[in-house]
Structure 1
Amino acid sequence: MKKTTWVMMIGLILLATMLVPEQRAYACSCAAGSAAEKLELFDAVFTGKVVGVGGRKRFVHDTSRKYTFEVDTAWKGIAEPRATVYSFDTGEASCGYSFSRGKTYLVFAYEEEGNWKTNLCAGNLQINEAASAIALLGDGTKIEKTGGANLFSNGMLPTWAGPETGAAALLILIALLWSWRRNNR
């Protein structure tokens, strides 16, 4: 009887372990390197403020979140005032890195599938922790914000440029054309 009980218990334990859903296990181990070494290694190096946190995009090897940066200074790879970087942001255990909207970072990114990508091992730093790394990088290039006096430089239309303004302009144009045509008959 004892032997039968043991066999049944072992069988139930084995069955239970087969029924438990599989959980993925991740481990992240990063090789350290100086900022100067990272400047050589990465395709884009810049400081910028996170102005947008977007959705996720599926890549060949992962799904990453989209982050939009307003670039301040660039050392490599970036020449525009805005940069989009994708990051595998599922947590540090799986090498993910999440940026926070409104905060400024020193970003190290690589090019993959035509997009800038980064992760925990890249060594991204919040700007208040990046002074020594920036000193090692040397002088970067200040990125000029395009259209400094442009009303639309923030990507948003002014309050007066709504559909009502367009409708009013269309009515004025129709009235002018009708008046001009009437006078030319």
Structure 2
Amino acid sequence: MKNAILILTLFFSIGSYACDCDGILTIEKAFKHSEKVFTGKIISIDPYNSKVYENGDETIEEYSNVKVKIEITNSFKGNSKKIIEIITGIGGGDCGYDFILGEEYLIFAYDNGIYTEKNDGIMETTICDGNGKMSDRKEWMNYLKKLK
């Protein structure tokens, strides 16, 4: 009986943290709800919001987010600099987007307080925002080029 309660507790705990994107995302909706829309190459991915502690003979670093540094190649919305840093989760139900170092993406970013404090000037993005590798976003790119 104790095992059943433990399993149910784990099931409901995990479910409460699962990422839930709101319906089907269109380019129009993604563009409207983002503060910055740009293409860029991922130049670094580093832990963000980390905690370091000692466990016997080893030092352990735990982190809940990543800071992604991006070299912007084209900006469609917002006054983006040449280099921008954005925060995203690490995955596993936190809505974090899994960027790959060296790849080029279409990115939708905003400062809405999912991973940091709202209105703190730190841009964020999630898997629900429309991000994608350039090779997967050709139709969306056509729409954005028409806006320019």
Q: TM-score, normalised by structure 1?
A: 0.59
For structure 2, the residue ranges without an aligned partner over 5 or more in a row are 51-62, 113-119
From 133, 139, 145, give the equivalent of 1:138.
145
Task: Give how far 1:38 is off.
Answer: 1.5
| Equivalent residue runs for 1:18-29 within 5 Å | 23=10, 24-25=13-14, 26-29=17-20
Structure in which a larger fraction of residues adopt strand: 2
For structure 1, the residue ranges without an aligned partner over 5 or more in a row are 1-12, 142-185
The higher-RCO structure (CA 8 Å, 6+ apart) is: 2
The 1:51–1:140 alpha-carbon spacing in structure 2 relative to 1, beyond 3 Å, is: farther
Give the Cα–Cα distance (whole angstroms) in 1 for the partners of residues 28 and 107 of structure 2.
13
1:4-24 C-alpha deviation (Å, 9 max, x unpaired): xxxxxxxxx2x3445679533
> Could you tell me whether the CA contact under 8 Å between 1:46 and 1:78 is conserved in 2?
no
Match of 1:36 in 2: 28
The 1:22–1:46 alpha-carbon spacing in structure 2 relative to 1, beyond 3 Å, is: same
The 1:83–1:17 alpha-carbon spacing in structure 2 relative to 1, beyond 3 Å, is: same
Alpha-carbon RMSD across the aligned residues, in angstroms, is: 2.6
Give the Cα–Cα distance (whole angstroms) in 2 for the partners of residues 119 and 43 of structure 1.
14
Structure in which a larger fraction of residues adopt helix: 1
1:68-98 C-alpha deviation (Å, 9 max, x unpaired): 000000111243100101011223x442211
> Could you tell me whether the CA contact under 8 Å between 2:45 and 2:68 is conserved in 1?
yes
From 30, 37, 40, give the equivalent of 1:45.
37
> Could you tell me whether the CA contact under 8 Å between 1:35 and 1:134 is conserved in 2?
no
1:100 aligns with 2:107: no
Match of 1:148 in 2: none
Q: Secondary structure at the match of 1:38?
A: helix
Q: Secondary structure at the match of 1:122?
A: coil
Match of 1:120 in 2: 127
Q: Secondary structure at the match of 1:111?
A: coil
> Could you tell me whether the CA contact under 8 Å between 1:108 and 1:123 is conserved in 2?
yes
| Equivalent residue runs for 1:1-185 within 5 Å | 13=1, 15-17=2-4, 23=10, 24-25=13-14, 26-30=17-21, 31-57=23-49, 63-91=64-92, 93-112=93-112, 113-138=120-145
Q: TM-score, normalised by structure 2?
A: 0.72
> Could you tell me whether the CA contact under 8 Å between 2:67 and 2:85 is conserved in 1?
yes
* Structure 1: 4+ residue segments shifted above 4 A: 17-22
> Could you tell me whether the CA contact under 8 Å between 2:37 and 2:108 is conserved in 1?
yes
Number of paired residues? Answer: 124
Among all aligned residue pairs of Structure 1 and Structure 2, give the percentage whose two residues are the same amino acid.
Answer: 25
